[in-house]
Amino acid sequence: MKTSTYIVNIVVFVLLGLIPACKNEEADIFLASPAERLNKAISDYQNILTNAENGWEMDYFANQMSPGYTLLVKLNKSGNAILSARSELTTNGAYEQDSCLFDIIGDNGPVLTFNTFSKILHVFSNPENPDGYGLEGDYEFVIVKAHPDTVWMKGKKYGAEVLLRKMPSDVQWKQLADERSEFKTLLFSEKAPELKMVVNKKTYTFSLGYSGVFLAKGSGVNALTLDVPFIVTHDGIRFYQEVEIEGVKFKAFRLNDAKSGLVSVESPEHTLTGVNDLAIFIRDDAETVWDIFPAGLSSTLDQSYKAILQSAQTLYGADSASFSLKYNTIRGSFVLAFSYTVGTTTTEGLLDLNVTAGNKDMLTVSYKGTGDAKGLQFYNDVEGLDDFVSAISSAFALSTAAKINPKEIKFTKATNQQVYFAIKPR
């Protein structure tokens, strides 16, 4: 074979080898390239997100074990985002609003990133308290799915599901944030009793609701114990994830009309119940100190209280005086505690009370005629104290704003509704 023919053959074989390598391709599954599809998704999501004229209500969970917070977000076509919130994380728990820049980038799929600082959002990601960790929340969200009214997202680093719901055009942001915050305060407080739910005849307690993460416990040694993060919604709460107890699935709850419990949306026969009977609740609570506060007194009792204060000032040089109801384990009795303060020194005297629960929310209080030495001395010396004790020695109808979280309980005299006082836990 001549050298030239040899070279020709090699070149032709090489070129022939290239042709089938190009021909044997899989048929395209998608009409466009991955980059084109990503760009289209970004453009579509950009339109949806910036088309909400009154912005979005964001159900924000920093991570999968964190409480939920309501944030309000408006994404403008200019790339500016306005955010607002009212929660324990905002300054003095007041309504706050600020702005930052946002972008939708092609990262792990289309990602909504808030890439300059907003104190409303980035408080969840700020690595302080404890240093290095903070609340371990996301400010970048992979967009999972988007409809014109709802956008489903997932935190990029910590993976919590975050929901955006389009705000109706007539809703005022501050009003919504204030109402949500007040509703949360109505439902939960640090001193609220734990909630109970009976499922298949087994009672489960849900405590620590004020933290935004319930500690759910069954009874018995090997009972189920769960941490259940949730968010307060406009009419109740929603668990971060569906929770199954005794084979029943729970996720959303609504506050009932009596404001005594949260009724399961998925299984309405089940309710997270607060206090059923206020009289029994007080009678059986041996730990709480209930302050009788001046603003809750009827005019008759207020006059009596002022006379008592004046007398204490005259007798002891008191700067202030106060009453409380509590159970005293040493005396084995409920007591009315009267105390006065001079400077930083407080002196207290106790008068023993009988406390009896009658019909639902009916409590009868009566003075036993006994007390500790100080209590009896005050009873005899302080002008008006005997009248005050006499006035609260009666049958009372108890009421509160929400039995699910009785922060203040009003005692109205059964025989005279013009006589009342109110207590709140110290």
Partner 1 sequence: MNKLTISILLSLLLLLSCSQEEEFGPSIFDVEDHLVEGSASYEFDTWLRQAYLVPYNLDFRYRMEDVGSDMDYNLVPTSFNKARQMAQLVKYLWFDVYGTVVSPEFLKENGPRIIHLIGSPAYNPISGTMLLGTAEGGLKVTLFRCNELDPTDVDLLNEYYFKTMHHEFAHILHQKRNYPVEFGLISQGKYNPLGWQYKTDSEAATLGFVSPYAGSQNREDFVEIIANYLVKSDTQWSDILALASQPGIDMYGDTIPDDGINGRAIILQKLEMAKKWLKESWEIEIDSLRAEIIRRQLNINEVLN
Q: Is 21 in the site for partner 1 (CB under 8 A)?
A: no
> Smaller CB distance to partner 1: residue 127 or 148?
127
Q: Structure tokens of 323?
A: 């009453």
CB of 102 to partner 1, least distance (A): 9
130 preceded by a cis bond (ω within 30 of 0)? yes
CB of 158 to partner 1, least distance (A): 10
Q: Is 103 in the site for partner 1 (CB under 8 A)?
A: yes
Among the residue ranges 84-92, 124-132, 206-214, 349-357, the one whose residues contact partner 1 (CB under 8 A): 124-132
Beta-carbon contacts of 362 under 8 Å, excluding residues fewer than 6 positions away, are: 279, 395, 396, 397, 398, 414
Q: Can you tell me which of 39, 63, 64, 116 binds partner 1, judged by CB under 8 A?
A: 116
Q: Structure tokens of 256?
A: 């009932």
Site string for partner 1, 130-159 (x = CB under 8 A): xxxxx-x--xx---------------xx--
Among the residue ranges 43-51, 72-80, 363-371, 393-401, the one whose residues contact partner 1 (CB under 8 A): 72-80
**Which residues, listed in sequence order, are joined to residue 58 by a DSSP beta bridge?**
71, 164
Pairing of strands 195-199, 161-166: unpaired
> Smaller CB distance to partner 1: residue 110 or 375?
110
Phi, psi of 38 (to 5 degrees): -65, -45
Among the residue ranges 123-131, 229-237, 357-365, 382-390, the one whose residues contact partner 1 (CB under 8 A): 123-131
Q: Is 109 in the site for partner 1 (CB under 8 A)?
A: no
CB of 116 to partner 1, least distance (A): 5
Q: Is 285 in the site for partner 1 (CB under 8 A)?
A: no
Cα→Cα distances 110→53, 81, 153, Å: 22, 17, 10
Q: Is 104 in the site for partner 1 (CB under 8 A)?
A: no
Residue carrying structure tokens 């000032």: 313
Q: In angstroms, rounded to a whole number, what is the distance separating the alpha carbons of residues 85 and 218?
A: 35
Q: In angstroms, rounded to a whole number, what is the distance separating the alpha carbons of residues 303 and 294?
A: 10
> Smaller CB distance to partner 1: residue 8 or 315?
8
Q: Do residues 77 and 53 lie in contact, with contact meaning Cβ atoms separated by under 8 Å?
A: no
Q: Do residues 95 and 174 lie in contact, with contact meaning Cβ atoms separated by under 8 Å?
A: yes
Among the residue ranges 28-36, 95-103, 367-375, 413-421, the one whose residues contact partner 1 (CB under 8 A): 95-103
Q: Is 12 in the site for partner 1 (CB under 8 A)?
A: yes
Q: Is 7 in the site for partner 1 (CB under 8 A)?
A: yes
CB of 139 to partner 1, least distance (A): 7
Q: Is 129 in the site for partner 1 (CB under 8 A)?
A: no
Q: Which of 411, 196, 120 is nearest to 293 (CA)?
A: 411
CB of 13 to partner 1, least distance (A): 11
Determine the size of the site formed for partner 1 (CB under 8 A). 34
What torsion, rounded to 10 degrees, do the Cα atoms 243, 247, 262, 289 define? -80
Among the residue ranges 126-134, 208-216, 383-391, 412-420, the one whose residues contact partner 1 (CB under 8 A): 126-134
Q: What is the DSSP string of 304-348?
A: HHHHHHHHHHHHH--SEEEEEEEEETTTTEEEEEEEEEETTEEEE
Residues forming the site for partner 1 (CB under 8 A): 4, 7-8, 11-12, 15, 76, 78-80, 100-101, 103, 107, 114-118, 122, 125-128, 130-134, 136, 139-140, 156-157
